[in-house]
Amino acid sequence: MSVFRKDFLWGGATAANQFEGGWDADGKGPSVPDMCTNGSHTVPKWITTAIRPDKLYPSHEAIDFYHHYAEDIALFAEMGFKCFRLSINWTRIFPTGEETTPNEKGLEFYDKVFDCCKKHGIEPLVTISHYELPYALTEKYNGWADRRLIGFYENYCHAIFERYKDKVKYWLTFNEINCGMSGFGAVLGLGTCQGYEGPAMGIETSAQTRLQALHHQFVASAKVVKYAHEHYPQFQMGCMIAFMATYPMTCDPADVVLNQQKMQEGNWYCGDVQVRGAYPHFAKRIWKELGVELKMEPGDEAILKEGTVDFYTFSYYMTNCVTTHEGEQTSGNLMGGIKNPYLKASDWGWQIDPQGLRYVLNEIYGRYQIPLMVVENGLGAYDERSEDGKFHDSYRIDYLRSHIQEMAKAVEDGVDLMGYTPWGCIDLVSASTGEMAKRYGFIYVNKFDDGTGDLSREKKDSFDWYKKVIATNGEDLA
């Protein structure tokens, strides 16, 4: 008997800016990622203030899901997906973010996508804002630094809630909202990069700007969660955190305390606001240390309390260590850290830690006691075509298998786990580097870093493997 729920949401995850393409099709406006060039593990991707004709912008065509959605969703259905996580591109619906009437053509595109999911019995899980802020809002308002963004976000949500109320049940308000705690969040989540041209992850913003911008996102999220609960009781509203677990490198109590603070800042600060509806006790310490004076308006505290989420979702790729002693640096999803001698790393230096997933699931569930969902996990790797012309990605299968095994243990520990949507179920553009070469998919896409490729789709070995996993509800992982 499988330990997973009967209605476990097996599936895969994507984000509009990383796979749709059609960046200016049918009235769509430019978003922040549309201004980002390609890069690699060693060369940083840039954000530019205008489209430079001599540069390559990977989101512009990406893998052209915009024109391949029917074929791609049919492939997901063939694997047996119960759930498909995708995001809505804000600028398809409101090209500059400020319009009051939505762009009908943009709405129609997602109608077609959701209808296609329905035809195949696949439940959509929609991220409302996945690193896709209208660039016009960055240019004019410096993104979420400006409180007026709350209103624009509400308009956007009201429009998509009403349009898709019969097609979408599960919603996530912001992807990896906690990226706003760190510098690189400026380009990714907050859009606080007004007038900036340079390495996208290298922009420095003050902690004051970042945490204030995050506060605006918290209020925006709570407002639309409350609105959804009042108007669409059938909706399930979730948060999404980049869970970046860290371990103390030594048993020196100073390392343990440092690690606790790192976990508070990196993971719990945002989760606590969105799940518990108030800033946690340690927020005051963080504000003091960073010299932040948070501006709250009357009513903000009440709205945070009233707009708490129904379920908690997170991405999980790797773990790092922290220490007050010497240690060797390594990289990771959003955040680097100190190397762990017990773990191996991916080609991008992300340390692979399946057991950490069991640990994290227990920690989160113990704290919040609401259903959890792993909405990103996976191995970014270089896939080489073998002599027989196929992609034998056994390394990806090993990665996923070991993580599913640990999820199963967490479920046996008593964690209420709703589902699992591994990242980049079809190859897509990397968020951190803008590469195609960093592939996560069960489905290979013939699209390359230099922008060439005929966009044809091919199944990797992991495709049939995952199909079997889903068919057996996670029992047969061989």
Q: Which residues contribute to the site for ligand BGP (CB under 6 A)?
A: 15, 18, 175-176, 242, 315, 333-334, 376, 380, 423, 430-432, 438
Give the integer Cα–Cα distance in Å for 267 and 178.
7
Other C-beta atoms lying within 10 Å of the C-beta of residue 439: 25
Cα–Cα nearest to 375, from 442, 465, 312: 312
* Catalytic residue selected from 176, 265, 406, 435: 176
Give the integer Cα–Cα distance in Å for 70 and 116.
7
| Encoded tokens for 451 | 């922008």
| Encoded tokens for 417 | 């786990």
* Catalytic residue selected from 139, 376, 406, 435: 376
Other C-beta atoms lying within 10 Å of the C-beta of residue 360: 23
Give the integer Cα–Cα distance in Å for 194 and 197.
9
In the bound complex, what is the minimum distance in angstroms from residue 440's beta carbon to ligand BGP?
Answer: 7
Compute, in degrees rounded to 10, the torsion defined by CA atoms 127, 375, 410, 335.
Answer: -100
Catalytic residue list contains 376 = yes
* Comparison of 176 and 255: residue with beta carbon closer to ligand BGP: 176
* Comparison of 61 and 255: residue with beta carbon closer to ligand BGP: 61
* Comparison of 29 and 58: residue with beta carbon closer to ligand BGP: 58
Where in 341-404 does DSSP place strands (E)? 372-376
Q: Is 367 helix (H, G, I), strand (E, B) or coil?
A: helix
* Comparison of 141 and 184: residue with beta carbon closer to ligand BGP: 184
DSSP H helices in 120-243: 135-141, 149-164, 185, 207-231
Catalytic residue list contains 176 = yes
Other C-beta atoms lying within 10 Å of the C-beta of residue 236: 18
In the bound complex, what is the minimum distance in angstroms from residue 388's beta carbon to ligand BGP?
Answer: 28
In the bound complex, what is the minimum distance in angstroms from residue 462's beta carbon to ligand BGP?
Answer: 17
Q: Which amino acid is at 476?
A: D
Q: Is 102 helix (H, G, I), strand (E, B) or coil?
A: coil
* Comparison of 286 and 318: residue with beta carbon closer to ligand BGP: 318
In the bound complex, what is the minimum distance in angstroms from residue 475's beta carbon to ligand BGP?
Answer: 28
Pair type for strands 198-199 and 417-420: unpaired
* Comparison of 164 and 348: residue with beta carbon closer to ligand BGP: 348
**Which residues carry out catalysis?**
176, 376
